[in-house]
Amino acid sequence: MDNGDPLEPETKDESDTVSARQSSDETLYCEAEAPMAVEKEKPARESSETDLEIEDTEKFFTTRQRELYLEACRLVGVVPVSYFIRNMEESYVNLNHHGLGPRGTKAIAIALVNISDNDLGLEGARILSEFLQNNTSSLFTLQLSGNNFKEEAAELFCQALSTNYRIKSLDLSHNQFSDKAGEYLGQMLALNVGLQSLDLSWNHLYIQGVVALCSGLRANVSLKKLDLSMNSFGNEGAAALGEVLRLNNSLAYLDLSSNNINNEGLSKISKGLELNESLKVLKLYLNPLSMDGAVLLILSIKRNPKSKMEDIDISNVLVSEQFVKILDGVCAVHPQLDVMYKAVQGLSNKKNLFTWTSPVKLIQSYADQHKISVLDFFRSLNPSGETTMPVGEFRKAMIQQNKVPINRYQVRELIKKLGEKTDMVDFRTLTSPPTPTPAPPPPCPMLIILPESLSPSPGGTDAAVNMMPCLIPRVPSILPSDLTLTPEMTLTLPPLVPSAPSVACTL
């Protein structure tokens, strides 16, 4: 697609056609900020076919966004999709049944949605870097995991993100970044003031790479979430992170799972936590830690009266009852804290796990006794009176309230039911609108039906009346509802069972 050459009709060779069929059911998503431009009027129905109607796109989108996609199409050798060009500023783009094929998908990934696991490589990184350096993109999330990015790609991204402050979330997991890439990323973090979430899990960041990364983190004031799991930087890297935690007051989530950190490295992290005032979640799963290291960790939280720690994951560590007693003391100071460990040695505490009453039943019982709804109980815990609440604040409120006797393990179960995956609990999850009381059935005439063996006679009526409890069914379909039964009236009733004979009744 050189300048001056007309766009050719979209054609696909046989291999492209097969690939297109395989990918036609995929849906591509793009998260974007609301565009600043005046809302454009769209045709009533967009065609699902790929075509070349791109003449009018310039009035809808910036020239740079259009040029990036066109350049990406030229790079991978495909014809642009006009539907995508017309809608690339939207927060959601559905590209089902457009016959993109692997190369068309790659062009769109480079231009806007950046799909993971597409092996974009250095060429794709270069185009993305040039685009991001202009700081005009409406993107705030980049998901670039599994694209075979190496040190050269890291350098390009860091050059772009040192000046681009619009990107809020960057996923670079499952790539090939090593120590040199850690240096570039550290330089970027020292300058960037917009990035809030960075995922570097499943890379090859070792000691030097993480130490360099931490140099940038010391100066960073915007990053809130950092995932470094599944690297192998060991105790030296943990020591550098401990120094970051001592100085950094923006990081709230840190995942260090499976990094070969033992008690020595954990002691360095614990020293940093004694002064940290921002970290809420710390994941240390699948590190070679023992109970002694776990005790050091929770005591560091106890020593810090300003700690905001809410969740610690050491769920591969076997602890003792003595550890549980120490943890009880820590939670008395920090009731918002929850620590996930593997199990308690011995059976005494384990037995209690199976004898605790369901927290939902306890709360429902309290609500019934005080003639309030469960929702009213939960809302009384929230100072704002709202039906949603941050997990840490909810845990603290449940431990400190004295209306329903409940322990932290029951609170953990309750949080799971109320939606912990969103970092917020929603009280409406456990409440439902009251079941309406069914309306009473309409009144029906009562008919006295005499058995065939009972002969109508002057005394027969009295006998029938005396047998009313067993002989008076309500059968509104037999007679009109407005019929009034009077004495001396003889009725011939149709049988209730088809094979039974009709019965005469005299009142």
For residue 94 the two structure tokens come to 């559905």
Say if residues 217 and 223 touch (Cβ distance below 8 Å).
yes
Q: Cβ(174)–Cβ(205) under 8 Å?
A: no
Classified as helix, coil or strand, 410 is helix
Average predicted confidence (pLDDT) for the chain: 76
Determine whether domain 59-349 maps to CATH 1.10.10.10. Answer: no
For 226-250, write each residue's pLDDT tens digit. Answer: 999 999 999 999 999 999 999 999 9
Distance CA 474, CA 481 (A): 11
Where does 261-337 show beta strands of DSSP type E?
Answer: 281-283, 311-319
pLDDT of residue 461: 43
154 — pLDDT class (breaks 50, 70, 90): very high
Amino acid at 11: T
Give pLDDT, residue 111: 65
Compute the average pLDDT of residues 86-111: 72
Residue with tokens 């005080």: 370
CA angle 318/321/326 to nearest 5° reads 100
- Beta-sheet pairing, 169-171 with 197-199: parallel
> In the predicted model, what is the mean pLDDT of residues 428-448?
57
Q: Do residues 125 and 149 make contact, with C-beta atoms less than 8 angstroms apart?
A: yes
- In 77-150, alpha helices (H): 82-87, 101-108, 121-133
Q: What 3-state class would DSSP assign to 319?
A: strand
Range in 27-31, 212-216, 494-498 with the lowest mean pLDDT: 27-31
Q: How many CB atoms lie within 10 A of CB 135?
A: 13
- Sequence-distant (6+) residues with CB within 8 A of 127 are 68, 71, 72, 75, 110
Q: Are 113 and 144 in contact (CB under 8 A)?
A: no
Residue 56's Cβ-side half-sphere holds a number of Cα atoms within 13 Å equal to: 8
Question: E strand or H helix at 253, and its extent?
Answer: strand 253-255
Beta strand spans in 285-434 (E): 311-319, 338-344, 388-390, 424-426
Tell me which of 470 and 405 has the higher pLDDT.
405
Q: Specify the domain boundaries for CATH 1.10.238.10 within the chain.
A: 359-430
- DSSP count for the chain of H helices, then E strands: 19, 12
Pairing mode, strands 311-319 and 281-283: parallel
The CATH number of domain 359-430, selected from 1.10.238.10, 3.50.50.60, 3.40.190.10, 3.40.50.2300: 1.10.238.10
What is the model's pTM? Answer: 0.66
Chain-centre distance for alpha carbon 4:
48
Q: What pLDDT digit, counting tens, does each position of 25-41 carry? A: 333 333 333 333 333 34
DSSP assignments along 210-266, one per residue? HHHHHHHHHH-SS--EEE-TT---HHHHHHHHHHHHHH-SS--EEE--SS---HHHH
Task: Show the tokens assigned to 180.
Answer: 């040199």
Task: Outline which parts of the chain fall under CATH 3.80.10.10.
Answer: 59-349
Sign of torsion, CA 388 392 394 395?
Answer: positive
Q: CA quadruple 345, 351, 354, 357: dihedral positive or negative?
A: negative
**pLDDT score for 24:** 35
CA atoms within 13 A on the CB side of 310: 21
Average pLDDT over residues 374-398: 93
pLDDT in tens, 331-349: 999 999 999 999 887 745 4
Q: 433: how many CB neighbours lie within 10 A of its CB?
A: 5
pLDDT tens readout for residues 161-203:
988 888 999 999 999 999 999 999 999 999 999 999 999 999 9
Residues 6+ apart with CB under 8 A from 93: 28, 29, 30, 84, 87, 112, 113
Cβ 391 vs Cβ 420: under 8 Å:
yes
- What average pLDDT does the segment 46-67 reach? 41
pLDDT tens-digit map of 279-325? 999 999 999 999 999 999 999 999 999 999 999 999 999 999 999 99
Measured between alpha carbons, how far is 456 from 280 in angstroms, rounded to an integer? 87
Rounded Cα distance, 435 and 292, in Å: 53
How far is the C-alpha of 138 from the C-alpha of 88, rounded, in Å?
A: 10
End-to-end CA distance of the chain: 100
Dihedral sign computed on CA atoms, order 149, 150, 155, 156: negative
Chain-centre distance of CA 478, in angstroms?
Answer: 58
153, 174, 458 from 158: Cα distances, Å: 9, 18, 107
| DSSP secondary structure letter of residue 59 | G
Residue whose C-alpha is closest to residue 169's, from 124, 191, 148, 199: 199
The larger pLDDT score, comparing residue 455 to residue 358, is at 358
